[in-house]
């Protein structure tokens, strides 16, 4: 078996996706498309509108977070991606092929080779050791143990569980069990990693530790990761892009900075009201062009650093301004303490676009 850490060849394109739960969803799909609300569908026909006209591009090699409150449709959506739930209407495209139209055999192969899932409740087999659980996906694919065990041991080590290979799940803490789940998914070497509330059952400190583990691995692997959460802080920390759902419909899609600085409506504005903006907004977002004849500040800060870290550096250096540079050290502009303070305390403005 050949391992790869190449960037996934393709992201996922979701097009005009609808899901109606009930015995006869096909009878009401046209009415929903014409504007029947979730409440009307339930009251008149005793059917539930799970997803409503979802169109979303999940980019390759990025962490795409789908978030919302309970009942928003986020877990329903992720289960459509690997065919665990069939839509009432719409397409889910991967490398040009519609997952919805796959045969049973094609779907089985897609799940085995292209996707891996990490669950909230770990989903480990209690009678298997850490090593055996990590090998499980490869066992299903028929990979011999002579090949699968070295791969499993590599990922067990990478998630920080070296030395626990022979332990059983009952002998592990919750955080350690979730590390096994992550190692199992990575051992399968799938392009797409589906994570459904993967860290929600963990204590706050362990949860933050797992988030760091995921980000560190992603810096190297560049998997296409779809991460489901109800926690905005987690979404902002992990997501290259964030899609917010409410009652099965998309409210806003964008980067964390976009959503915090330009919420699409009052619902999103309320959602982000208490966010610590200093931990979300990057320095390059506030960098202004240097004025003609202006002397560049001595202190240089990387544009991707969040304002909280930039403010600390400026305070430590006794500087009122800093030159913002990109990763190659090329100047982008200048940032000063007044701009930082204003960005951290100014309320978000609802986008008019």
The pLDDT tens digits of the residues spanning 289-315 come to 988 888 999 999 999 899 999 999 999
Alpha helices by DSSP H, the chain: 29-33, 38-45, 74-81, 104-113, 130-140, 145-158, 174-187, 204-221, 232-238, 256-261, 266-271, 283-286, 307-317, 337-345
pLDDT at 6 over 60: no
In a domain, 23, yes or no: no
Q: Starting from the edge strand earliest in sequence, which strands make up the sheet with 331-336, in order?
A: 300-302, 321-325, 331-336
pLDDT at 117 over 60: yes
In a domain, 281, yes or no: yes
Residue in the structure block whose two tokens are 């799909």: 29
pLDDT at 119 over 90: no
Select from 118, 123, 124 the least CA-distant residue to 196: 118
% pLDDT > 70, the chain: 95
Q: What does the pLDDT look like over 243-272, one tens digit per residue?
A: 999 999 999 999 999 999 889 999 999 888
pLDDT at 9 over 60: no
In a domain, 61, yes or no: no
% pLDDT > 90, the chain: 69
Question: Which is it for strands 224-229 and 63-67: parallel, antiparallel or unpaired?
Answer: parallel
User: Can you give the pLDDT at residue 315?
Assistant: 94
Q: Starting from the edge strand earliest in sequence, which strands make up the sheet with 12-21, in order?
A: 48-58, 12-21, 89-94, 97-98
By the 8 A CB rule, do 279 and 303 touch? Answer: no
Task: Give the helix/strand (H/E) hosting 226.
Answer: strand 224-229
What is the number of domains present in the chain? Answer: 1
- Tell me the backbone φ, ψ of residue 338, rounded to 5 degrees: -65, -45
Residues 6+ apart with CB under 8 A from 166: 129, 130, 131
User: Can you give the pLDDT at residue 345?
Assistant: 78
Residue in the structure block whose two tokens are 């009942």: 71
* Residue 67 tokens, joined: 């978030």
Task: Give the helix/strand (H/E) hosting 251.
Answer: strand 249-254
pLDDT at 3 over 70: no
In a domain, 305, yes or no: yes
In a domain, 287, yes or no: yes
Task: Work out the number of other CB atoms within 10 angstroms of the CB of residue 143.
Answer: 17
Q: What does the pLDDT look like over 120-166, one tens digit per residue?
A: 777 889 999 999 999 998 998 889 999 999 999 999 999 999 999 99
> Could you please report the per-residue DSSP string of 5-50?
-PPPS--EEEEEEEEEESS-GGGTHHHHHTT--HHHHHHHH--EEE
User: Can you give the pLDDT at residue 214?
Assistant: 92
pLDDT at 201 over 50: yes
**pLDDT average, residue stretch 190-212:** 89
Euclidean distance between the first and final Cα of the chain, in Å? 49
- Burial of 230 per CB tally in 10 Å (0-12, 13-18, 19+): middle
Please report, for the domain that includes residue 304, its CATH number.
3.90.1280.20
By the 8 A CB rule, do 41 and 32 touch? Answer: yes
pLDDT at 98 over 90: yes
User: Can you give the pLDDT at residue 352?
Assistant: 62
- 341: domain range? 277-345
Q: What does the pLDDT look like over 161-180, one tens digit per residue?
A: 999 999 999 999 888 998 99
User: Can you give the pLDDT at residue 65?
Assistant: 97
User: Can you give the pLDDT at residue 346?
Assistant: 67
Average pLDDT value over all residues in the chain: 90
User: Can you give the pLDDT at residue 26?
Assistant: 95
Confidence tier at 118 by pLDDT (50, 70, 90): confident
Q: What does the pLDDT look like over 216-249, one tens digit per residue?
A: 999 888 999 999 999 998 999 999 999 999 999 9
User: Can you give the pLDDT at residue 120?
Assistant: 76
* Residue 311 tokens, joined: 């403010």
* Residue 302 tokens, joined: 């990387």
In a domain, 314, yes or no: yes
Helices 204-221 and 174-187: crossing angle, nearest 10°? 20
Residue in the structure block whose two tokens are 């996922």: 12
Task: Give the 3-state secondary structure of residue 232.
Answer: helix
pLDDT at 1 over 70: no
CA 333 to chain centre: 30
In a domain, 296, yes or no: yes
Confidence tier at 7 by pLDDT (50, 70, 90): very low
In a domain, 325, yes or no: yes
Task: Give the 3-state secondary structure of residue 195.
Answer: strand
């Amino acid at each position: 078996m050949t391992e790869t850490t190449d960037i996934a060849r393709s992201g996922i394109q979701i097009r005009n996706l609808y899901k109606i739960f009930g015995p006869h969803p096909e009878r009401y799909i046209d009415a929903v498309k014409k504007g029947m609300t979730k409440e009307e569908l339930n009251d008149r026909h005793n059917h539930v509108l799970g997803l409503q006209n979802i169109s979303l591009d999940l980019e390759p090699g990025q962490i795409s977070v789908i978030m919302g409150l309970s009942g928003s449709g986020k877990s329903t959506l992720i289960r459509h991606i690997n065919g665990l739930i069939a839509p009432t209407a719409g397409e889910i495209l991967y490398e040009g092929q519609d997952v919805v139209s796959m045969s049973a055999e094609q779907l089985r192969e897609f799940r085995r080779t292209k996707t891996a899932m990490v669950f909230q409740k770990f989903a480990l087999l209690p009678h298997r050791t850490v090593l055996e659980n990590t090998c499980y996906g490869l066992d299903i694919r028929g990979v011999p143990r002579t090949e699968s065990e070295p791969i499993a041991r590599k990922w067990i080590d990478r998630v920080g569980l070296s030395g626990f290979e022979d332990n059983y799940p009952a002998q592990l803490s919750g955080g350690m069990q979730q590390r096994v789940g992550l190692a199992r998914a990575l051992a399968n070497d799938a392009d797409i990693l589906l994570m459904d509330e993967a860290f929600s059952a963990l204590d706050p400190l362990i949860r933050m530790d797992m988030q760091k583990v995921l980000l560190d691995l992603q810096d190297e692997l560049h998997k296409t990761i779809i991460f489901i959460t109800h926690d905005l802080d987690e979404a902002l920390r992990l997501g290259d892009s964030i899609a917010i759902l409410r009652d099965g419909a998309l409210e806003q899609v964008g980067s964390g900075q976009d959503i915090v600085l330009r919420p699409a409506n009052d619902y999103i504005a309320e959602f982000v009201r208490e966010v610590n903006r200093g931990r979300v907004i990057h320095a390059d977002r506030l960098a202004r062009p240097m004025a003609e004849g202006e002397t560049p500040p001595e202190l240089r800060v990387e544009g991707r650093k969040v304002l909280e870290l930039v403010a600390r550096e400026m305070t430590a250096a006794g500087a009122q301004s800093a030159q913002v540079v990109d990763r190659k050290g090329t100047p982008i502009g200048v940032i000063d303490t007044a701009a930082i303070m204003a960005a951290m305390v100014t309320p978000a403005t609802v986008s008019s676009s």
